[in-house]
Each structure stands twice: as C-alpha cells, then as structure tokens.
C-alpha cells in the first residue's frame, strides 16, 4: 500500500484545516494573535524537557492536530484581504493546490532525468514568464527561493562575465588577484541587493552609490557622471519598483549608457518587473528588456506560495558558468536541453515550476494584467482617501502599488498610528524610515477589494484619531 491509512487521515485533516483557515481569513485580525515569544512557548510546551526534541514519537493525526493548535495563534494574516505589510503576495489557492501536489509528489527538481515532469514544467513556465515580462526569449531562467537569491544568481553571472571579458576566470580562480569590478547602484536599492553583493565578494560598502530622485529612482545625470569615473569591469544594478515608493530607475537612459561602457546591467524587479505584464503599467519598465539579467518573485505579484523567485539571465552561457554543478553520478543533459541544476545554486530542491505553471495557467495573460492594475488602482484609491484628511501626507507619487504616508509632523505620531493599526488588526501596515522620517507603508498586492481598501482607510483614520 502506497499510503498508510493513518497518513491519509493526517493529509485529510491538514487539507480540512487549511480550507477552514482560508475560509476564515477575511474575518480574522490581520496581525498574528500571538507574538513570537508566545508562539515560541506554544511550540515548546508542554514537552517535559523544554528545548529538547521529544523522546517518544506521536501518531500522524496527533502531530497535525498539535501543529495546527500551536501554530494558529501565531499566524499572520498575509493571505488576508487587508494585509498591506511589506510586499507579500497572498499564496493564491491555485498555487497552494499545485504546491500541495509538489510536496506530495516529492520530486527533486535538481535534474530532468530524476524528475522529468518537474523539469518540463519549469521549462514551459520559464518560456511563459519571459513572454509575460517582455524579456528576451533566449534568456535562461533559474527557479530560486525568492528575489534575494535571484539577485545573487544574476550578479554571479554578471561577475563571471565581466571578469571573463577582462581575461579572468572567477569561477575557477576566485576573486583573489582578480581585476577590481566597479559596481554602480542607486542609493535607494533594496537591502537584499547589498546582501547579494556581500555574498559574492563584491562587498556592500565598496559600491558606488548613485544619487536618487525624491521618489527613489536613480538620477540619470548622476549615473552618467558616476559611470564616467569608472574604469575596468563594471556592473550596474538597477531597480524596477522601489520598496517604499514603487519608483523605477530610468532604464531607457541607464542601460544604453552602461552598455556603451561594456557594463553588465542587472535589474532587481522583485515585484516591479510585473508592471511589464500589465499594459497600463508597462511604460514604467520601458528599456528594461535591454538589460542583461533580472531578478523577480513568483511569491509576490504572481501569488505563488513561498519559496518562489526567478533569476533570469540573457546570456545562458554566463548563467550556466556561474551556477554549474557536475559530478559523474549526475545524468548528463542532451545538447540544447535545459538542465535545472545549471541555473540555481542548489542541487536538490523543490519543484518550483509546478506552482508557477499553475498560476500562469489559472490567471492567464489577461488575469495577471488585470490583477496588477487592480492593485495599482486600489493603492491610488487608498492614497486619495487618506490624502483627503488634512492630517495625512501621502509622500510618494503612487505609480504602482506602494503608498507611504506620514501623520502630522512628528515621527512619534506616525509610529503611534502604526502601532495602533497593528493592535487593532482590521488591517495590517508596517513602517519604514524614508528620507530620515518615519512613514507608514501600504503595499497592495493581495486579495484586497474596494470594500477592503475603504474599511482599511477608515481603520487608519480611527487609529489616527486615537493616537
Ligand atoms: C525590490 C526588492 N528586491 C528584493 C526583495 C527581496 O525579495 P525576497 O524577499 O523575495 O527575497 C524585495 C522584497 O520585498 C524587494 O521589494
């Protein structure tokens, strides 16, 4: 028998609990009821030896029941309709269904002999992604855990290729003694790009930080001047969708200037790249397709469950050189076939292509465009309604799905409103420091409707009244 009855029963219990959870998500407070410390206690107690693994095992049903009971209070409303914290997609039910199957099928997407269906789903999903995002059809796509790793992969390919052109084989010889690489990056780039540079030995502090506009986009004149001062191999890191404002770097100017100097251009478009899949927003990303590599997420605007990001590299050879893995026991790949393990840092890994394939199949080109536009429209609606209150200042041009607001003049009031809105739980919004002052951030990227947007604005106003 393939599946033991007690395992089957545990699966059914898990599915029923998952369904009940998602059925109740609208009514649930959008913040977790338990904070981390309480969740920690819930997971530890009441085992006799707190902090030690249990001595005796538990039957499958009991484990699932126990897991649900301990986890539920500490679950955050990320899949709910009024969750505007960070930039968090809503794990769409169709993506979740594909993800359940991915776990149940237990495929190792490391190579296409071990897991032909997983590799094929990736190949086709990759083709669809390039088409939807308007990127070169010849580009190669790695299915990674998220945009952070997509940035690592894109920048690893960039590092290898600009050094190869300078006569240095970084994959073989490392960075010791290599020609120095100049890295140019906007001052308002996302923190994870600096992490990626750090992981790759390029350093997060030795970069040339290019001045940005009030909206956080790279200033093209400042970029041109900074580029003129560079010599040797150059990598330029641009951004599509600033985390606070949604602003895009001016790719039409930056990419040709960079290419004229032989630089590699990597675009961090964790969520913003999806504007290119939406005709009404695509103008924001003009010129992006001329870049050399791109990082984006499935688990943000495509609504796949975590972990799902895409590292896209125009030069498939450079991508492969940066990520390649070879061992005699691993099956060789036929000429011209895509080998999943040559596109990502890991060998054994989750078959991420299934959920991506399912989400694109479900939403279709039109559904994705409509969803992106709906989120942008709702962001403008919320910004407009908040700005109507004289005590509220909307600080960004709402070009995408991101809104930042301040309440009154002092940071304390803004921080108090954020605290109150989180305590209230009607909706969830976080804070950030923008240009030296605290702001409330609203990222509209989930299951929000117009009614949810209005309920949330009313809750924010109430929080302001009470703060
Ligand atoms: C612009 C940008 N880049 C990179 C990232 C990192 O993405 P992930 O958290 O999927 O690794 C984010 C996350 O919000 C982002 O907004």
- Give the pLDDT of residue 276: 98
Ligand 1 centre distance from Cα of residue 388 (Å): 31
Average pLDDT of every residue of the chain: 95
Quote the pLDDT of residue 45.
66
Q: Do 153 and 313 form a contact (C-beta atoms < 8 A)?
A: yes
Instruction: For residue 243, give the ligand 1 atom closest to its CA.
Output: 16
**For range 106-124, the mean pLDDT:** 93
**Under 8 Å between Cβ of 186 and 218:** yes
**Closest ligand 1 atom to Cα of 307:** 10
Q: What is the band of 333 on the pLDDT scale with cuts at 50, 70, 90?
A: confident
**All CATH 3.40.640.10 domain ranges in the chain, comma separated:** 100-359
Q: How much is the pLDDT for 28?
A: 83
Res 47 pLDDT > 80 = no
The stretch 123-141 carries a mean pLDDT of 98
pLDDT at 30: 78
What confidence tens digit (pLDDT) does each residue in 345-373 have? 999 999 999 999 999 999 999 999 999 99
How far does the centroid of ligand 1 lie from the alpha carbon of residue 324, in Å? 25
Share of the chain above pLDDT 90, in %: 88
Tell me which fold the domain 100-359 belongs to.
3.40.640
Instruction: For residue 148, give the ligand 1 atom closest to its CA.
Output: 11
- Whether the per-residue pLDDT at 387 is higher than 80: the answer is yes
**Is pLDDT of 52 > 90?**
no
pLDDT tens digit string along 274-302? 999 999 999 999 999 999 999 999 999 99
Q: How many CB atoms lie within 10 A of CB 140?
A: 23
Nearest CA to ligand 1 atom 15: 270
| Average pLDDT, integer, range 409-436 | 95
**Interval between CA 270 and ligand 1 midpoint (Å):** 5
Q: How far is the CA of 127 from the centre of ligand 1 (A)?
A: 22
Q: Which of 304-336 are b and which e, b meaning 16 or more Cβ less than 10 Å from the residue's Cβ?
A: bbbbbbbbbbbbbebbbbbbeeeeeeeeebeee
Residue ID of nearest Cα to ligand 1 atom 3:
270
User: How far does the centroid of ligand 1 lie from the alpha carbon of residue 147, in Å?
Assistant: 5
In testing the pocket of ligand 1, which one of 78, 88, 243, 284 has its CB within 8 Å of the most ligand atoms? 243
Q: Ligand 1: residues within 6 Å at CB?
A: 87, 146-148, 190, 192, 241, 243, 268, 270-271, 297, 309
| Nearest alpha carbon to residue 29 among 86, 74, 94 | 74
**Looking at residue 153, what is its pLDDT?**
98
> With 80 as the cut, is the pLDDT of residue 169 above it?
yes
Region 96-110: mean pLDDT is 96
Distance 191 CA to ligand 1 centre (A): 8
Give the CA distances from residue 148 to residues 136, 255, 428, in Å, rounded to whole numbers and listed in that order: 22, 22, 24
| Residue of the CA atom closest to atom 12 of ligand 1 | 270
Q: How far is the CA of 261 from the centre of ligand 1 (A)?
A: 28
Nearest-atom number in ligand 1 for the CA of 299 is: 10
Task: Quick: pLDDT tens for 366-384.
Answer: 999 999 999 999 999 999 9
- Mean pLDDT for 98-120 is 94
Question: Which of 84, 85, 87 for mutating ligand 1's site (highest number of atoms within 8 Å of CB)?
Answer: 87
How far, in Å, from the CA of 148 to the mean position of ligand 1? 6
Specify the pLDDT at position 50: 55
242 C-alpha to ligand 1 centroid (Å): 10
pLDDT of residue 46: 64
* 178-198 per-residue burial string, b: 16 or more CB within 10 A, e: under 16: beebbbbbbebbbebbbebbe
Tell me the per-residue pLDDT of 223-257, one tens digit each, with 9 for 90 and over.
Answer: 999 999 999 999 999 999 999 999 999 999 999 99
């Amino acid at each position: 028998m393939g599946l033991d009855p007690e395992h089957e029963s545990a699966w059914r219990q898990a599915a029923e609990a998952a369904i009940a959870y998602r059925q109740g998500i609208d009514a649930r407070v959008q913040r977790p009821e338990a904070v981390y410390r309480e969740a920690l206690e819930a997971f530890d107690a009441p085992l006799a030896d707190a902090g030690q693994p249990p001595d005796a095992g538990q039957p499958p049903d009991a484990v699932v029941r126990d897991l649900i009971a301990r986890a539920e209070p500490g679950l955050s409303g990320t899949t709910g309709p009024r969750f505007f914290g960070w930039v968090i997609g809503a794990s769409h039910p169709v993506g979740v269904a594909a993800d359940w199957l991915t776990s149940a099928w237990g495929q190792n997407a490391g190579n296409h002999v071990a897991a032909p269906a997983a590799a094929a789903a990736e190949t086709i999903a990759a083709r669809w992604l390039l088409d939807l995002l308007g990127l070169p059809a010849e580009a190669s796509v790695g299915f990674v855990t998220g945009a952070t790793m997509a940035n690592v992969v894109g920048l690893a390919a960039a590092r290898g290729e600009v050094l190869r052109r300078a006569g240095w084989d970084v994959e073989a010889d490392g960075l010791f003694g290599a020609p120095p690489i100049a890295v140019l990056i906007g001052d308002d780039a996302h923190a994870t790009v600096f992490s990626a540079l750090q992981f790759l030995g390029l350093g997060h502090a030795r970069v040339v930080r290019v001045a940005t506009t009030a909206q956080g986009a790279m200033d093209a004149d400042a970029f041109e001047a900074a580029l003129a001062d560079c010599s040797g191999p150059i990598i330029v890191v641009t951004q599509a969708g600033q985390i606070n404002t949604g602003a895009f770097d001016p790719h039409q100017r930056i990419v040709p200037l960079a290419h004229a100097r032989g630089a590699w251009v990597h675009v961090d478009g964790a969520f913003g790249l999806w504007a290119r899949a939406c005709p009404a927003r695509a103008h924001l990303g003009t010129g992006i397709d001329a870049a050399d590599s791109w990082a984006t997420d499935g688990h943000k605007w495509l609504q796949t469950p975590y972990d799902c990001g895409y590292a896209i590299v125009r030069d498939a050879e450079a991508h492969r050189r940066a990520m390649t893995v070879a061992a005699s026991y691993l099956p060789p790949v036929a000429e011209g076939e895509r080998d999943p393990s040559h596109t990502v840092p890991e060998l054994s890994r989750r078959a991420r292509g299934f959920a991506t394939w399912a989400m694109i199949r479900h939403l279709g080109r039109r559904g994705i465009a409509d969803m992106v536009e709906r989120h942008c429209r709702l962001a403008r609606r919320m910004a407009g309604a908040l700005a109507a209150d004289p005590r509220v200042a909307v600080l960004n041009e709402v070009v995408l799905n991101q809104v930042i607001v301040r309440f009154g003049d002092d940071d304390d009031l803004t921080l108090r409103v954020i605290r109150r809105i989180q305590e209230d739980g009607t909706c969830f919004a976080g804070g950030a420091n923008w240009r030296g002052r605290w702001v409330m951030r609203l990222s509209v990227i989930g299951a929000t409707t117009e009614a949810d947007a209005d309920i949330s604005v009313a809750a924010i106003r109430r929080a302001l009244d009470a703060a």
